[in-house]
Amino acid sequence: MEKAASALILAGGHSTRMGKPKAFVYLGGQTLIERVITSLRPLFKDIYVVARSPEPFRGLGLDIVVDILRERGPAGGIHAGLSHSRTEWNFVVACDMPFINRELVAYMAQKLNGCDILLPRLGGRIEPLHGFYSRRVLSTVERMLQQGKGSVKELVARCKTKYIEEEEIRRLDPAALSIWSLNTPEALEAARRLITSSAHEARE
């Protein structure tokens, strides 16, 4: 990695669209959060899980960070994670993104100069839960949350944000699977079909 950074896995959502806790749904023999951890280990010395409660995650062997300001959504998770982290830069990722592309993440880590947040932008849409956040934004997100504003997109708009554009993303991750979040049963089934198809092609 170009810069020393930690990883923050956000796992505090209610999983309403999935219908059950996303972090522990199985895909290809591992839970979604185990797949995320496996992808991140070669890149980051310190990996933290940010959650509403530590109990479900104790078996992962990682430090669990509990939300400081409860029920504030992903912005609350970012706030808790940045408050706990010991590094200036932190890669924030959702627990339901099991196809993280390490080359893409490492490439993003080389582009952190001159900004406080770095995010991918694909088809004109940003992905705020697959990006780098500096601890410099901590006071901004804390002030927002205290004002009852919990939108990560508003945080992004308030801070000095840079973007990795679609051409850059697809050069390293042609299908942009790294930023695919499996937040519905339909998305999970599509991911299972993809893994089955990839395994079949590998055997041929």
For 70-114, write each residue's pLDDT tens digit.
Answer: 667 899 999 999 999 999 999 999 999 999 999 999 999 999 999
**Residue 8 reports pLDDT greater than 80:** yes
What pLDDT is stored for residue 101 in this prediction? Answer: 97
78-81 long-range contacts (CB < 8 A, ≥24 apart) are 78/8, 78/10, 78/50, 78/133, 78/141, 78/152, 78/155, 79/138, 79/141, 79/142, 79/145, 80/50, 81/8, 81/10, 81/48, 81/50
pLDDT at 17 over 70: no
Residue 201 has pLDDT above 60, yes or no: no
Write the Ramachandran bin of 28: left for phi over 0, alpha for psi from -120 to 50, otherwise beta: left
The pLDDT confidence band at residue 203, using thresholds 50, 70 and 90, is very low
pLDDT digit string (tens) for 113-139?
A: 999 999 999 998 999 999 999 999 999
| Ramachandran angles phi, psi of 97, nearest 5° | -115, 80
Total domains in the chain come to: 1
Read off the pLDDT band of 48 (50, 70, 90). very high
The 10 Å Cβ neighbour count of residue 183 is 17
**CATH code of 94's domain:** 3.90.550.10
pLDDT value at 166 more than 90: yes
* Mean pLDDT estimate for the chain: 90
Q: Domain range holding 186?
A: 5-203
